[in-house]
Amino acid sequence: MSERIASLAALEAWRTRLVAAHDPKRKAIAVCAGTGCKAYGSDQLTAAFRKAVAERGLDVDVRATGCHGFCERGPLVVIYPSMIFYQEVGRKNLAKDVAEILDQTVAAAPGAEQIVARLQYKTPDGTPVVHEHEVPFYKHQNRLILSFNGKIDPDSLADYVANGGYRALAKALGTLTPEQVLAEVDASGLRGRGGAGFPTGRKWRFCREAVAPLVNGVPTRYVVCNADEGDPGAFMDRSVLEGNPHGVLEGLLLGAYAIGAREGYVYVRNEYPLAVQRLTKAIADARAAGLLGADLLGTGFAFDVHVTRGAGAFVCGEETALIGSVEGNRGQPRFRPPYPAVSGLWGCPTTINNVETWVNVPLIVDRGAAWFAGIGTRGSKGTKIFSLVGKVNHTGLVEVPMGATLRHIVEQIGGGIQGGRAFKAVQTGGPSGGCLPEPMLDLEVDFDTLTAAGSMMGSGGMIVMDDRTCMVDVARYFIDFLIQESCGKCTPCRDGLIQMGHLLHAVVEGRATRATLDRLEALAPVVRDASLCALGQTAPNPVLSTLKYFRHEYLAHIDHRQCPAGVCKALITYRVNARCTGCTVCAVQCPEKVIAGEKKGLHVIAEDRCTRCGVCHSVCTFGAVDILPGRGGKE
């Protein structure tokens, strides 16, 4: 449909036609075209499916969809309508995989499909799984938002509409006043998914009730979508924007209607080229269809959206810095008040929410606040998307109701720790979050419990660590990241973080004393309490939370000059044990040539000249190279 949709009735008529034209029994091959699967070559896979389907003359719809979430096993393929799930398709033999899937699964009648066993998912105990919803990674999720991702072609407005898209907008424009939309969002209990968890309805109300200055004679307010997701390892907003751009636009439209804005901005980082591309296409399609622009759907309501690309500063995810950046200024936070809801973009009242918050709004308006408020905990409603990464068996994007336990996420969905090793900690909330230990695994995750535990929800990063992770080194890593990303405006964050970095480097490099720890513990609260914006205020979290839960590891580094996890190079020793077969691989591979030994004889590392690069440990196939905590070989 390229012509304008002239009215609410015309939108519903189009939807009815689309749904009627869709044969639910028709076979479809959904190939994930999220960034992870694309990196594995899913574009070539889609093309190969299309070509092979044409050659065979099959009536099959081949569609590239948004991210399915199980990125680790990409490229992912789901065969509709039976929902047969294939993983790692085309990684090794693209032509063979495509041919076998088509001939054995797709060409067969429903119910008579044969399964290509070698492309099936198998549980850790080896049991093959046929259907997507039976894969434990998906089975234990509640995918309200992400369900769109696997289903629709993100470049197709028709697909979104056929799946109920813009129905909430039609409902709002046709039957609800702006105040009623606002009341609905308020009653749903939705809280901002960007990190702080501020109640969305209350934020919108501040904006709606703020005095709007006249721009060209019109009272002006703005809505802004924050898509400057910058946490290392986090890609929730990226996947939503790439997989369901119209969902975000519909959220912005509803927000604009509720607060009285005519213009909106999506601030998306330039490192997300696919998100920019799909969003730009979605905006162009929505404009052409009359879903954006003047007099949209013939209701008199006007709204349009612009895309602003960010240049990769983490701090621009902070709302006041983001607003500065959109205005063309240096991306630097400023003090609040005034809050953006009162004085934001170009001094006008501005509602700024992140991608995940906006994409929840159409669901709330469509299905009602009571439905949404029925999901989650007392203080945190709905679902939350986490990017589950680190040392779990199954990494990827997971969506669970608020209140799901960390254990549920790590063990059921994540499938436990890789290689059967021991869980040590889970880091939530991005670089400024905290590390929670094993006893906290039964914590029911929501905004308030995580904060009370000394971590935070953040935007939903979740990094799982095993017993080979050094918690001091983790704290050092995050502080180093934040030093790089501090904008430099305020003294504690600019000059304090760099000193926290020096102190942490002293610990991991074996130069620290108890006084180092005292200094760290004195400096951290100053940075936390005196910094200007949330970046600095939360930056000490990784240090404070590891000091709280893993203090013994700091003390091992300081008192015993040992890194118990075997990570910190200055505080470990590599030594060959009796399992050595004398294969000579380590000696050959050692870049320093400090491993001596005869063929078939026990090898020995010259520990005084060893640089602890770890090559010997990783090339040894006999487990004959030990990493001992401490220098000088004390075991």
Partner 1 sequence: MILTINGRPLAATPGETLLQVARRAGVDLPTLCHHEGLEAWGGCRLCVVEVRRRPDDAPKVVPSCLQPAEDGVRVETHTEHLLRIRATLLDLLLTRAPDSDLIRRLAVEHGVSDGTFEPRPEPTSCILCTLCTRACAAVGAHAISTAGRGAEGEVSLPFVDDADACVGCGSCAAVCPTGCIELKDAGSRRTIWGRTFERVPCEVTGQPTVTREYAELLARRSGLPVDSFFVSDEGRRRQTADRVAGLVGVGDGRVA
CA 345 – CA 69 distance, rounded (Å): 34
Residue with smaller CB distance to partner 1, 301 or 477:
477
CB neighbourhood size of 352 (10 A): 27
Query: Is residue 222 within 8 Å of residue 255, measured between CB atoms?
Result: no
Q: 396: which strand partners?
A: 388
Residue with smaller CB distance to partner 1, 98 or 316:
316
Task: Give min distance, CB of 261 to partner 1, in A.
Answer: 26
Task: Give min distance, CB of 163 to partner 1, in A.
Answer: 43
Q: Name the residues that contact partner 1, by CB under 8 A.
A: 313, 330, 334-335, 337, 483-492, 494-499, 502, 522-523, 526, 529-532
Distances, alpha carbon 568 to alpha carbons 124, 159, 520, 554, in Å:
31, 51, 19, 12
CA angle at 250 for the pair 249 and 256, rounded to the nearest 5°: 90
Task: Kindly report the backbone phi and psi dihedral angles of residue 269, in degrees, each rounded to the nearest multiple of 5, phi listed first.
Answer: -70, 145
Residue with smaller CB distance to partner 1, 442 or 529:
529
Query: Is residue 476 within 8 Å of residue 504, measured between CB atoms?
Result: yes
Query: Is residue 235 within 8 Å of residue 331, measured between CB atoms?
Result: no
Residue with smaller CB distance to partner 1, 161 or 523:
523
Query: Is residue 572 within 8 Å of residue 563, measured between CB atoms?
Result: yes
Task: Give min distance, CB of 528 to partner 1, in A.
Answer: 9
Task: Give min distance, CB of 265 to partner 1, in A.
Answer: 23
The conformation of residue 492, written as its DSSP 8-state character, comes to I
Task: Give min distance, CB of 526 to partner 1, in A.
Answer: 4
Look at the block and give the residue holding tokens 């934020």. Answer: 203
Look at the block and give the residue holding tokens 């918050």. Answer: 357
Residue with smaller CB distance to partner 1, 212 or 483:
483
Residue with smaller CB distance to partner 1, 111 or 337:
337
Task: Give min distance, CB of 203 to partner 1, in A.
Answer: 20
Look at the block and give the residue holding tokens 């001939």. Answer: 103
Residue with smaller CB distance to partner 1, 27 or 269:
269
Task: Give min distance, CB of 541 to partner 1, in A.
Answer: 17
Task: Give min distance, CB of 478 to partner 1, in A.
Answer: 15
Residue with smaller CB distance to partner 1, 364 or 506:
506
Query: Is residue 181 within 8 Å of residue 261, measured between CB atoms?
Result: no
CA 1 – CA 236 distance, rounded (Å): 30
- Using alpha carbons only, how large is the chain's radius of gyration in Å? 27
